[in-house]
Chain A
Amino acid sequence: MLEVVGLTKRYASGDEALRGVSLAVEADEVVFVIGPSGAGKSTLIRCINRLVEPDAGSVKLDGLEVVGLGPRELTLARRQMGMIFQEFNLVERLTVMENVLTGRLGYVPLWQAWRRRFPPEDVAMAFATLRRVGLEGMENKRADALSGGQRQRVGIARALVQRPKILLVDEPTSSLDPKTAEAVMALITELCAEARIPALVNIHDVPLARRFAQRIVGLTAGRVVFEGGPAALDGAALERIYGGAVAELDEARAP
C-alpha cells in the first residue's frame, strides 16, 4: 500500500534528518516506528504527505508517486492519507463537529467550505465516527474545552472521515497519561482493523509498540537499523536502535 524508497531530508540548519530511509507498509498492516528523539521519525511521516518536502527518494501510495506531484494533485493525494498528531492539532476555537468535518475539506468545493455547509452524507459519517470513538453528544463542544484523551479522539475521527487509504500517526500518545495512552493506542489499532486501513505509527514508548505492533521498524540518526516482529526486538536490537542512550534503554527494557 505504501512504499518508501531512499527517502532523504536535510534541513536548512544542516541537520540530516533522513539518510535514505526505505520501508513498506502492506494493506491491513500496522507498522510502528521506534527510535530515540531526533532519529527522524516525525520528518519521515511529514515527508510522506509532504508537509515537509523531501530532498530525494520516492513515496508510492497505492502505486501513485507522491514526490513531485503539483499542488492540485498533492491535495488529492493528501486526502487519502489521514494524519494523527502528537499535540492533537485541533483547531481550538472550532467545535468538535467542525474539527471532524475538517477531514472532508479535501472533498468539498471552496464555496461550500466558506459557507460551512457539508453534504448530509458527510455530516452523517461524522456523527457515526464520533459515536465510534466514544464522543457521542459532544459535537457542539469547543475543542479547547476537551480533555487530552478526548481531543485525540477528535483527531482520530478527523483522520477517519477522510476515508483514507492509510493512517500516518505521529506520537499519538506522548501528550497523554499512561492509561489514556493505552486506550487511545488500542482504539487506533482496532479502528484500523475494522476499516481495513494500514497505519504507520511513530512512537517512543517501546512497551506500547511491542503490545500493538505487527511489525516494528527501528530508526536511528535517519537510518533504518531494525525491522521485524515484536518478538525479534531483543536487547541487541534495542542496543542498535537506542545506542548510547542508556536511560532510554533501561526504560525500554522494563516490561
Chain B
Amino acid sequence: MMHHAAAWRPPSALPYRWMGAALWLGLGAFLAWNALNVEVDAARIQRGLARAGTVFARAVPPDFSRWPLLLEGIVESLQMATLSTALGTVLGIPVAVMAARNVAPLPVYLAGRGIVSLGRTFHEIIVAIILVKAVGFGPLAGMLTLTVSSLGFFSKLLAEQIEQIDRGQVEAVRATGAGRGAVMLWGVLPQVLPRVVGLTVYQWDIHLRQSTIIGIVGAGGIGTTLYNSFSRYDYDFTLAILIVIVAIVGAGEWASAWARRRIQ
C-alpha cells in the first residue's frame, strides 16, 4: 500500500474537485460564444486589410507642410497637460491627506475616499464628453478633464503612501508640542515628498498622452487636429501628426524617467 503522505494534493480553493473542471468548461464555452457574437469573419478581415493598405499608401510620405497647425495642437496639448498637472497636484495633496486613514478622522477620511472614487469612476473620455457639454469645445474642457483624472490617480497613490509612513517619526514631532499643521509639514510631508515629486512628473507624462486622445471628443489639443485630419481623409497629414505624437510622448517619458531618477 502506498504511504499516506505520497497521496497529498494541494488543498483546492473550491469545496469539491468537480467544480474546478466545470469552471474551466464554462469559461471555454463563454469565450466561444463571445467569438461567435463579434462575427470573426475571414472575408471581412480580408476586405479590411485591403482598405488599410490604401489608407497607408496615401499616408506615405507624411506631410509636414501644415506645421503651424501641428505646432498649435502640440503646444495646446502641452499647456493642457502642464496646467492640469499643477492643478491636480495642488488639489490632490489635501485630498490625499483626507483619504489617508492614519492622519484623517473617520468622517474626513470617508469624504476623501469619496472624492478619490469619483475621480476614478469614469474614463477620461466620458468626463471629457460631459465637460465639453458643460464648458464648450476647446482646451479648457480638456484641462478640466485631466484635472479630474488627476484627483483619482494622484490622490489615491499618495494616500496609500501616507498610510505607509513611519509612525514613530510623526509621534516624535507630535511629542514636541507641534500643532496639527506643523506635524503634517514636519513629520508627514518629508516622508512622502519624493513620492509627491515622482507622482507629479509621472502624472504630467500620463496627461500628455491622454491629451492626445481626449481631443477627439472636442476637448482641444493635438487630438482635435488629429481627428480633423482623419475626417478630411488627409492621411499624409495624419501620419505627420502621429509621428510628432510618438516623438513628444517619448520625450515626455524620457524627461519623467530622468526627473524621477534624480529625486530618490
The chain A residues found within 8 Å of chain B, CB to CB, are 49, 51, 71, 75-83, 85, 87, 89-94, 98, 102-106, 110, 113-114, 155, 158, 162
Q: Is the CB of B173 within 8 A of A102?
A: yes
Contact at B185–A113, with CB atoms within 8 Å?
yes
Contact of A162 among B166, B176, B186, B193 (CB under 8 A): B176
Q: How far is the CA of A155 from the CA of B173 in the complex (A)?
A: 11
The answer to whether B178 touches A90, judged by C-beta atoms less than 8 angstroms apart, is no
Once the chains bind, are A113 and B174 in contact (CB under 8 Å)? no
Q: Are B190 and A94 in contact (CB under 8 A)?
A: yes
Determine if B169 and A92 form an interchain contact, defined as CB atoms under 8 angstroms apart. Answer: yes
The residue of chain A having its C-beta at the shortest distance from the C-beta of B174 within the complex is A51
> Which single member of B176, B179, B194 contacts A102 (CB below 8 Å)?
B176
Residues of B within 8 A of A79 (CB): 176-177
From B177, B180, B182, B187, give the contact of A91 (CB < 8 A).
B187
Q: Is the beta-carbon distance between A106 and B169 smaller than 8 angstroms?
A: no
A81 to chain B, nearest CB (A): 8
Report whether A75 and B169 are in contact in the complex, using a CB–CB cutoff of 8 Å: no
Mask, B181-200, CB within 8 Å of A = 1, is: 11001110011011000000
Pair B186/A51 contact, Cβ less than 8 Å: no
14 more contacts with CB within 8 A, not counting A71-B180, A91-B191, are: A76-B177, A77-B177, A85-B171, A89-B168, A91-B169, A91-B186, A92-B190, A93-B190, A94-B186, A102-B186, A104-B176, A106-B178, A113-B185, A114-B185
Q: Which residues of A contact B180 (CB under 8 A)?
A: 71
B173: which A residues are within 8 A, CB to CB?
Answer: 91, 102, 105
User: B175 to A110, Cβ gap below 8 A?
Assistant: no
Q: Which of B168, B181, B190 contacts A113 (CB 8 A)?
A: B181
The residue of chain B having its C-beta at the shortest distance from the C-beta of A75 within the complex is: B177
Least distance between B165 CB and chain A CB atoms (Å):
10
Contacting pair A49 B175 (CB below 8 A): yes
Say whether B50 faces chain A, with CB atoms less than 8 Å apart. Answer: no
Q: A85-B168, A89-B169, A105-B182 are in contact. Are A78 and B190 (CB under 8 A)?
A: no
Residues of chain B within 8 A of A93, CB atoms compared = 190-191, 193-194
In the complex, which of the residues B168, B175, B180 has the most CB atoms of chain A within 10 Å of its own CB atom?
B175
Q: Pick the residue among B176, B186, B193 that contacts A78 (CB under 8 A).
A: B176
Query: Which residues in window 11-32 of B have CB below 8 A to A?
Result: none
How far is A203 from B32 in the complex, measured between Cα atoms in Å?
70
Chain A residues with Cβ below 8 Å from B194 are 93
CA distance A49 to B190 in the complex (A): 24
- A113 in contact with B175 given A89-B168, A93-B191 (CB within 8 Å): no
B52 interfacial by beta-carbon distance below 8 Å? no
Q: Bound complex: CA of A102 vs CA of B174, how far in Å?
A: 10
CB–CB A83/B172 < 8 A: yes
Instruction: Give CA–CA (A90, B182) in the complex, Å.
Output: 15
10 CB-based A-B contacts, threshold 8 Å: A51-B171, A51-B175, A75-B177, A76-B177, A85-B171, A91-B187, A92-B190, A104-B176, A110-B185, A155-B172
Contact status of A78 and B168, CB under 8 A, knowing A93-B190, A110-B182 = no
Cross-chain contact A90 with B172 (CB below 8 angstroms) = yes
Tell me, in angstroms, the Cα distance from A87 to B190 when the chains sit together: 18
In the bound assembly, the distance between CA atoms of A158 and B187 in angstroms comes to 14
Q: Taking the nearest CB of chain A, how far is it from the CB of B178, in angstroms?
A: 4
Q: Among B179, B187, B193, point to the contact of A75 (Cβ < 8 A).
A: B179
7 closest A-B pairs (Cβ-Cβ)?
A: A106-B177, A79-B177, A105-B178, A89-B172, A78-B177, A89-B168, A83-B175
The answer to whether A102 and B178 have CB atoms under 8 Å apart is: yes
